[in-house]
Chain A
Amino acid sequence: MLKAKAESKRKKQVGQQNIGYLFIAPAVIVFLIFTVIPFCVEIYASFTNYNMVNRMEFVGFTQYWYLFNNSFFVKSLGNILLFVVMYVPLMLVCSFTVAVLLNRKMPLAKFYRTVMYFPAITSGVATAYVWMWLMNPSKGLFNNILIMLGLPISQWYFESETAMISIVLISLWGGLGSNMLIFLAGLQNIPAELYEAATIDGANGMQRFFRLTVPLMRNSAQFVVTMLLIGAFQLFDIVYLLTNGGPMGSTATPVYCIYITAFNEFNGGLASAMSVILMLIIMAVTFLTRKFLKEADF
C-alpha cells in the first residue's frame, strides 16, 4: 500500500517533469535562437572581418583596435555621455515631481495622469515627425512663437550646439509618463498611517516630504535610474529619423553607429565589436549604479 503510494507519487513527479519541460520548450527555443546564438555569433564576429555576405575570417583584435581609432564611434560615446548627463537627472526630477503632485485624491487626477502618459505610448516615428515640425527653423511653431514674443529664434536640432539639447527635450516629453507612473506606483505603496503618525509627531509638510517620502522612494528611484540609464545608452529612433547623427556628427549615438556600420557600410565585424563594447558599457554602468545607489545614504 505504502509502496504503491510512493510509486504513484514518483510517477506523478516524472509526469510533471516532462510536462514542465514541454511547457517551457517554446520559450527556451526562441531564447536559444534569438538570444544565445546571436550572443555567441556576435562575440565571434567581432574578431572577424565579416562583411554581411562573405565568410568570416579571423582577424584577432583588429576590429577593437580600429574601433578606438575610429573617430565616428569615439565621438558617439562622447555624445551619448552628454545625453545621459543631461537627460537622466532632468527626467528623474521632473517625473518624481509630477508623480508627487498627482499622488493625491483630487478631481481630475486620472485625467492629468492620462494626458501625461500619452506621449509615452506614442511611437518614436510619430514623436520624431511631430517635433520635426514644431522645431522647424523657418516654419515651425516654436520659432513662430519666439518671433511673436520678439525673442531670438533657435536653430534647434539643425545646429550642433543645440542639437543634443533638442533631442533631450524630445526624450523628456516622450519618457515622462512611464517614469511618473513607476514613481506613482511607489508612492501609493507608502502606508498612509506613516504620514498620520508623522503629522501627530508635529512634522510639517516639508519635513514629511524630505524625511519620509524621499527615503521611502529609494527603491523606486533606483529602479528608475537603472532603467533610464539602460534606455538612454540605446538612443536610436529619434536620432536616426530626425538628425541622421548630424549636424557634424553631434547627435550620432553608439546604436546609430552600429546601425550605419552594419547596414549601410556592411561592416559586420566592426559593428559587432561596437555592439560588444556598448553591451559592456551598459552592463558596467548598470552594475555601478546598483552598487552606488545601494550604498548611498539618503
Chain B
Amino acid sequence: MEKSMRQPLWKKKTLYVLGRVLLYFVLTVIGMLMFLPFYWSMVSSVRPNIESIVGVNLFPKHWTFEHYINLFKDVPIGRSFLNTLCVTAMGMFTNLFFCSLCAYAFAKFKFRGKKAVESVFLLSMMIPGVVLIVPQFIITFKLGLHGTYTGAVAPGAIGLFGIFFMKQFFQSLPNDIGEAARVDGAGELTIFVRLYLPIATAGLITLGIFTFNAYWNSFMWPNLVLSQEKQVITVVLRDYTIKYSDNMGPLMSGAIISVIPVFIVYVAGQKYFVNNMVFSGLKG
C-alpha cells in the first residue's frame, strides 16, 4: 500500500492500462484458439474442398452450398435430425418431470426409508455410467426396447444428478405454499405441478440444458440400440465418414448442422445456466 501510494498517479494509470491491454491480448489469443475449429469447419463447409486443403486460406474465395446439398443427398441427415430431436425431447421430459417429482418427495415429505433410498442413490452416483453398458444393452434387448426411441432414452431417463440438483431447489422453498393449498383440498400432485414446479423454473432450465446436451450429443448408446431409420445425427455423421472418408466439405457442414441446436439452447438459457452453476453444488 505504502509503495503504491508513493507511485505517481500517471505511473499507476499506465500500469493499469498496460495490464488491461495484456489481459485482453491473452484472452483474445485463447479465445481465437478455442474458436478456430468452429471457424475452420464453417468456412470449409461453404467453399470448394481444394481451398481448404491446399495452403492456408482463412477466407473463402468461391462460395458454394454444394457440400450441404451433397450431405442431404448422401445420408438421411434431415430424418436423423428429427430422430435426435425426438429422443432429446423424450429424455428432457422424463428427466425434468420425474427427477423433480422424486426430488420434491425427498425435500418435502417424511416417509420411512427415505434416508436409505437417498443414500443408495447418492452412493450409486459414484458408479461410472459407462461400465454398465454391457448389461444395460442386454436388459434393453430383453425388454424389447431394442430399436425404439424409448430404448435410446431409458437408461438415463431419470438421472440421479438431476434428482439431487432439483432437491436443493425444493428445499429452499417454504412449506406453507403447499399447506395453504392442502387446506383448500388440493391434491398432492396438483400442489406439485401447479405450485412448486413453476417456482423452480430456474433450476428446470439449468437441468434442461444439461439434459438437452447429454441426449443431443450422445453417441455410444444410440449407436448400439437404435435401428437404421431411427438413428440419431451423431451416428449418421459417423456413417458418412465410413462411406466417404475423404470428402471433408459435407462432413463439416454436417458437424455445423449438428451443433446449431445445442448452441441455440445454451445461448437462450445462458443467464440461468451460469448463475445456477453456483447453486448446483459446484461452488467453492
Which A residues form the contact surface with B (CB < 8 A)? 13, 16-17, 19-21, 23-24, 26-28, 30-31, 33-35, 37-39, 41-42, 45, 52, 98, 101-102, 106, 108, 112-119, 121-127, 129-134, 136, 139-141, 144-145, 148, 173, 176-177, 181-182, 184-190, 199-200, 202, 216-220, 223, 230, 233-234, 236-237, 240-241, 255, 258-259, 262-263, 268, 271-272, 275-276, 278-279, 282-283, 286
Q: Measured between alpha carbons, how far is A186 from B124 in the docked complex, in Å?
A: 26
Query: Which one of B36, B114, B127, B258 contacts A125 once the chains associate, using CB atoms below 8 Å?
Result: B258
Query: Which one of B102, B234, B241 contacts A27 once the chains associate, using CB atoms below 8 Å?
Result: B102
Which B26-47 residues have a C-beta within 8 angstroms of A?
Answer: 26-27, 30-31, 33-38, 40-41, 44
- Name, among B20, B121, B134, B255, the residue most crowded by chain A CB atoms within 10 Å (CB to CB): B134
Q: Measured between alpha carbons, how far is A187 from B128 in the docked complex, in Å?
A: 28
Q: Measured between alpha carbons, how far is A233 from B126 in the docked complex, in Å?
A: 13
With contact pairs A115-B31, A182-B277, A189-B278 given, residues A126 and B237 touching in the complex (Cβ less than 8 Å): yes
For residue B163, CB closer than 8 A to chain A, the reply is yes
Question: Are the CB atoms of B34 and A129 closer together than 8 Å?
Answer: no
The stretch that binds A, out of B6-14, B65-73, B215-223, is B215-223
Q: Measured between alpha carbons, how far is A233 from B137 in the docked complex, in Å?
A: 21
Q: A130-B37, A258-B130 are in contact. List 17 more A-B contacts (CB 8 A).
A: A98-B30, A112-B31, A115-B31, A118-B34, A121-B217, A122-B259, A125-B235, A133-B251, A139-B52, A139-B54, A145-B56, A148-B56, A173-B33, A176-B34, A181-B277, A219-B284, A279-B131
Question: Are the CB atoms of B278 and A121 closer together than 8 Å?
Answer: no
For residue B76, CB closer than 8 A to chain A, the reply is no
Q: Considering only CB atoms, which chain B residue lies closest to A217 in the complex?
A: B284
Q: Measured between alpha carbons, how far is A24 from B110 in the docked complex, in Å?
A: 12
Question: Are the CB atoms of B284 and A131 closer together than 8 Å?
Answer: no
- Residues of A close to B52: CB separation below 8 A: 133, 139, 141
With contact pairs A23-B104, A115-B31, A134-B40 given, residues A38 and B139 touching in the complex (Cβ less than 8 Å): yes
Which B residues form the contact surface with A (CB < 8 A)? 1-2, 20, 23-24, 26-27, 30-31, 33-38, 40-41, 44, 52-56, 98-99, 101-102, 104-106, 109-112, 114, 117, 121, 124, 126-139, 143, 154-155, 157-158, 160, 163, 188, 192, 213, 216-220, 224, 234-235, 237-238, 241, 248, 251-252, 254-255, 258-259, 262-263, 266-267, 270, 274, 277-278, 282-284
Q: Measured between alpha carbons, how far is A268 from B133 in the docked complex, in Å?
A: 11
Query: Which one of A122, A182, A234, A268 contacts B130 once the chains associate, using CB atoms below 8 Å?
Result: A234
Q: Measured between alpha carbons, how far is A141 from B136 in the docked complex, in Å?
A: 41
Question: Are the CB atoms of B238 and A241 closer together than 8 Å?
Answer: yes
Query: Which one of B37, B41, B216 contacts A173 once the chains associate, using CB atoms below 8 Å?
Result: B37
Question: Are the CB atoms of A27 and B163 closer together than 8 Å?
Answer: yes
Q: What are 25 residue pairs bridging A and B, where the CB atoms are less than 8 Å apart in the complex?
A: A26-B102, A31-B160, A37-B135, A39-B127, A102-B27, A114-B270, A118-B34, A127-B37, A130-B38, A133-B41, A141-B56, A144-B53, A144-B55, A181-B282, A182-B282, A185-B282, A187-B284, A188-B278, A200-B1, A230-B128, A234-B129, A237-B219, A255-B130, A268-B138, A283-B126
Q: Measured between alpha carbons, how far is A186 from B139 in the docked complex, in Å?
A: 41
A-B residue pairs, 6 tightest by C-beta: A186-B284, A123-B217, A38-B135, A139-B53, A20-B111, A23-B105
Question: Are the CB atoms of A13 and B258 closer together than 8 Å?
Answer: no
Q: Measured between alpha carbons, how far is A235 from B143 in the docked complex, in Å?
A: 29
With contact pairs A26-B158, A133-B44, A271-B134 given, residues A101 and B127 touching in the complex (Cβ less than 8 Å): no
